[in-house]
Amino acid sequence: MPGQGEGEWGNWDAAARSRGGLLSLALAAVGRALAVESDRWFLWLPVFFAAGIIAYFALSNEPQPRVAAALVLGAIGICLAPRSAPLGLALAGAFLAFASGFATAKLRTEITRALAHELSYVGVSGWVEAHELLRDKGRARLTIRVLSLGDLEPEERPYRVRVTMPAPDAAK
């Protein structure tokens, strides 16, 4: 923070000069810049959360659920480790937000996969509750209260379904 003396942040320049090297000086400068912005670190959490979601969808292969769990557990472990500098705690929080975003995307994918019981061409019988013409003209959406749906048992079938079809077929 500005105005700090020889506390946690005050010795960064001296330590960087004693080690020498451009990388040490650059890290010290980044540390000072982050220290000045410490009251705004919380605002970066949604950014890191979104970065975790983006990283999940950027993968070329679907990761196993244990990868997401390992990321979250590792981030929690890093957060629980004793930190002497606020910068370490901020980086641990950023990693936790990233891991949480990654795990949230994986969880949503698995929930969708479990619920997506696709029944493309099955017979549906029931009552038409709503009939809407869609904006793209030529399509209609029916909301049907289901009495039977293919060979599904009563406890497996949904209460209502929405079916989109060409408008002339919906009029029949």
Q: What's the confidence (pLDDT) of residue 79?
A: 80
The C-alpha atoms of residue 127 and residue 143 are separated, in whole angstroms, by 8
For residues 27 and 159, give the distance between their C-alpha atoms in angstroms, rounded to a whole number. Answer: 59
Query: What is the rounded CA–CA span in Å between residue 166 and residue 133?
Result: 10
| Calpha distance 130→37 (Å, rounded) | 55
Contact yes or no for 68/120 (Cβ under 8 A): no
Alpha-carbon distance 102 to 59, whole Å? 11
Both tokens of residue 96?
A: 């936790």
Q: What pLDDT is recorded for position 11?
A: 56
**Domain residue spans of the chain:** 37-115, 124-170
**Mean pLDDT in order along the chain per 10 residues (172 residues):** 49 56 76 79 90 94 91 87 70 90 94 70 87 80 89 85 76 58
pLDDT of residue 5: 47
